[in-house]
A = this chain, B = another copy of it.
Amino acid sequence: MKVIEQTARTPSQNSFLDFLFGRPLSSEEDRAERVGPAAGIPIFGLDALSSAAYGPEAALTILIPLGLAGVVYIVPISLTIIVLLSIVYFSYRQTIAAYPTGGGSYTVATQNLGEKAGLLAGTALMIDYILNVAVGISAGVGALVSAAPSLQPHTLSLCLGILLVLSLVNLRGLREAGVLLMAPTYVFVGCLGGMILLGLWKAIEHGGHPVPVVPPAKLGSAVAGVSLWLLIKAFASGCTAMTGVEAVSNGVQAFREPMVKNARATLTTIIAVLILLLAGIAYLCHAYGVGAAPPGQPGYQSVLSQLIAAVDGRGIFYFVSMVAILIVLALSANTSFADFPRLCRALAENGFLPWAFAIRGRRLVFSYGINVLAILSGILLIVFQGVTDKLIPLFAVGAFLAFTLSQAGMVMHWKKSSQSGARFSMFINGLGATATGLTLCVVIIAKFTEGAWITVIAIPVLIMLMMKVHRHYQTVQSEIACPQPANLKNIEQPIVVLPLQGWNRIAEKALRFAYTLSTEVHVIHIAPEDDPDKPNTKELLGVWKEYVEKPARQAGYPPPELVVVRSPYRLVLAPIYRHVLEIQRKAPDRLVTVLVPELVERHWIYYFLHNQRATALKLILYVKGSGRIVVVNIPWYVSA
């Protein structure tokens, strides 16, 4: 066995692509591209953290009919969400340890609950990732245009512009995306944290009743009494604050060693910060009497905007905070860019998505997934015209479905485990599964008519498609499997068919090649015009004996058979194709090789000067042909 091993050279340079995407990275540079907690928090936590900016507001919006009295309820609702969040945190902490190779909901559900449950979790997450990109960008742009109303007509262009920048940055690779995200994330956390500390201090100073620097918007009087259904709906809306929590567990492999420790530290920090933000915001809303303003009305102010103004007035701090919120909202889409491609890769490696999703691009990222995510969320943005309100109800269903399946999977995992503490872990995950499962039901019921139904329909459709892809791959796999030695006996010469337009050097080259393949050569010439004495036909018949038959005999080959087909309807391809099929019919056990002479031009523009019959012939022989037809290109390079 003579096996030569080589290593391919570095790719050739292309300064434009290098500028846009960065220089290609070799697979060995993978480790250097991995991240620690400092960069991991922005990359995997932005989605979760930014939801502090819209979760409480979403809940307060539902409470508007209760007037000032409603603001009181934000505290218990937020506490419920924080408890849920803590349960989910402990569950995912366990998942990271149990699945250090990347334990997304898809993997956990597949391994413990079976393929179908895994697909359900995977699809739910895919949809949520796509929605997250659209929601994050549109929320950021929405905040921007409410600050600068003159940008309103450009909402969609701004959304698509941000999407393009995010895609490019992510195609450059994880680390560069992390560096870009770090500053705004920490400014955002710093501002909100500072606001909460200052507000807390003022509240304590004034015995729980601080005086707002800028008074918040007046809340209307109650138009409805409090009801359990209203509180449940407020809770369901507030749950959008929990989206994005699963990101870390999906991306464990993107962390540098020790992976599990780094991933856990990242998750802990993200959840801790998120809980502090949610709790602080809830308490301050209560203390300062800040409620949501009805969106879309003149002079609308977001809850955070009112809160910061109440605590510290509209100074520099206010503006820095608002800018940070805008940027972080827009960039929260980035979490999807980090995770969606990884999820698709896992699905592709199991044969549920095209292979291309599993191939890493020049910068070691799964470029195909990034592109597909960008295109799909771009379509969503265009269809919904970049308006957040219309997108929100579709959201969160996927996230909670994935949460539930992942926790349930972990319950099965611990059940099979004999590890010490497995029972306690099982209890934690069981609690998580129950809590997120109940929340899922609440979210679906509360938001069904407003748009959640789209997600509920999309999930089974996507699953069916993926099962179809899987079946197809399996069929092909079993069809081409060859678990036996090659059969190289009784290799017979093929029958060669050579269509010629006339006699020239391409024809000569093709004929030489024909005789390397076989001694049985059929030449077919089509006379497409009404006049059988057309120059080409006449010329070919004229030189045939002297130029072809004689030299063939002299070289010891049987001369080729010449078939001239008159074509009154001026068709060229159909007669050739029919001739090939006819030959094949007569010799059912032999391979038919069709030589297609073709001009290869140095400049693409010249292709218009020649008919593309060679290309069309190849195509038609492929589409209509069978396994026993092989097409050979005989290229003739035009030097001009």
Residues of A that sit less than 8 Å from B by CB: 1-12, 24-28, 30, 354-356, 359-362, 469, 472-473, 475-476, 479-482, 484-489, 491-494, 503-509, 511-513, 515-518, 526, 529-530, 541, 544-552, 554-555, 557, 559, 561-571, 574-575, 578, 591, 599-600, 606, 608-611, 618, 622, 625-627, 629-640
A513 partner residues in chain B, CB cutoff 8 A: 494, 591, 630
Could you name 17 residue pairs across A and B whose Cβ atoms are closer than 8 Å? A5-B564, A8-B568, A26-B569, A27-B569, A354-B609, A355-B610, A360-B570, A482-B507, A485-B547, A486-B512, A486-B548, A488-B552, A489-B554, A491-B515, A618-B633, A629-B635, A632-B632
- Additional pairs, 20, CB under 8 Å, beyond known A8-B571, A10-B569, A472-B606: A2-B561, A4-B564, A7-B566, A11-B569, A11-B571, A27-B570, A355-B609, A362-B569, A475-B638, A482-B505, A486-B548, A487-B508, A488-B511, A489-B551, A516-B591, A618-B633, A627-B635, A627-B636, A629-B635, A632-B632
Residue of B nearest to A476 (CB): B638
A6 partner residues in chain B, CB cutoff 8 A: 563-566, 575
Contact A473 B609 (CB under 8 A): yes
Contact A633 B634 (CB under 8 A): no
Contact A480 B512 (CB under 8 A): no
Contact B27 A486 (CB under 8 A): no
A12 partner residues in chain B, CB cutoff 8 A: 574
Cα A518 to Cα B591 in complex, Å, equals 16
Q: With contacts A5-B566, A6-B563, A482-B508 known, is A517 near B515, CB below 8 A? A: no
Shortest distance in angstroms between A498's beta carbon and chain B's nearest beta carbon? 12
Cα A335 to Cα B556 in complex, Å, equals 59
Contact B486 A511 (CB under 8 A): yes
Shortest distance in angstroms between A244's beta carbon and chain B's nearest beta carbon? 30
Contact B356 A611 (CB under 8 A): yes
Contacting residue for A2 out of B484, B491, B551, B562, CB 8 A: B562
Contact A479 B638 (CB under 8 A): yes
Contact A4 B562 (CB under 8 A): yes
A566 partner residues in chain B, CB cutoff 8 A: 5-8
A554 partner residues in chain B, CB cutoff 8 A: 488-489
Cα A488 to Cα B570 in complex, Å, equals 32
In this complex, which of A565, A568, A631 has the most chain B Cβ atoms within 10 angstroms of its Cβ?
A568
A25 partner residues in chain B, CB cutoff 8 A: 569
Cα A505 to Cα B569 in complex, Å, equals 41
Contacting residue for A639 out of B479, B509, B516, CB 8 A: B479
Contact A479 B491 (CB under 8 A): no
A632 partner residues in chain B, CB cutoff 8 A: 630-633
Cα A557 to Cα B10 in complex, Å, equals 36
Residue of B nearest to A3 (CB): B562
Q: With contacts A24-B569, A634-B630 known, is A475 near B578, CB below 8 A? A: no
Contact A482 B511 (CB under 8 A): no
A545 partner residues in chain B, CB cutoff 8 A: 1
Contact A550 B485 (CB under 8 A): yes
Contact A635 B640 (CB under 8 A): no
Residue of B nearest to A351 (CB): B609
A359 partner residues in chain B, CB cutoff 8 A: 570, 611
Cα A591 to Cα B510 in complex, Å, equals 12
Q: With contacts A491-B515, A491-B516, A571-B11 known, is A609 near B469, CB below 8 A? A: yes
A481 partner residues in chain B, CB cutoff 8 A: 504-505
Residue of B nearest to A529 (CB): B27
A28 partner residues in chain B, CB cutoff 8 A: 530, 568
Cα A526 to Cα B559 in complex, Å, equals 41
Contact A574 B8 (CB under 8 A): yes
Cα A25 to Cα B505 in complex, Å, equals 34
Contacting residue for A541 out of B3, B575, B606, B631, CB 8 A: B3
Cα A569 to Cα B9 in complex, Å, equals 8
Q: With contacts A360-B570, A541-B3 known, is A608 near B354, CB below 8 A? A: yes
Shortest distance in angstroms between A55's beta carbon and chain B's nearest beta carbon? 38
Shortest distance in angstroms between A438's beta carbon and chain B's nearest beta carbon? 39
A564 partner residues in chain B, CB cutoff 8 A: 3-6
A356 partner residues in chain B, CB cutoff 8 A: 611
In this complex, which of A28, A561, A574, A609 has the most chain B Cβ atoms within 10 angstroms of its Cβ?
A609
Shortest distance in angstroms between A231's beta carbon and chain B's nearest beta carbon? 47
Residue of B nearest to A469 (CB): B609
Contact B640 A27 (CB under 8 A): no
In this complex, which of A480, A503, A566, A625 has the most chain B Cβ atoms within 10 angstroms of its Cβ?
A480
Closest 10 interchain pairs by CB? A27-B530, A26-B568, A475-B640, A8-B575, A488-B555, A480-B504, A8-B567, A482-B505, A485-B547, A4-B563
Contact A7 B568 (CB under 8 A): yes
Residue of B nearest to A612 (CB): B356
Contact B530 A504 (CB under 8 A): no
Contacting residue for A599 out of B476, B484, B518, B574, CB 8 A: B476
Residue of B nearest to A482 (CB): B505
Q: With contacts A27-B530, A476-B599, A547-B485 known, is A7 near B517, CB below 8 A? A: no
A30 partner residues in chain B, CB cutoff 8 A: 530
Shortest distance in angstroms between A305's beta carbon and chain B's nearest beta carbon? 45
Shortest distance in angstroms between A173's beta carbon and chain B's nearest beta carbon? 14
A492 partner residues in chain B, CB cutoff 8 A: 516
A541 partner residues in chain B, CB cutoff 8 A: 3
Shortest distance in angstroms between A421's beta carbon and chain B's nearest beta carbon? 34
A552 partner residues in chain B, CB cutoff 8 A: 486, 488
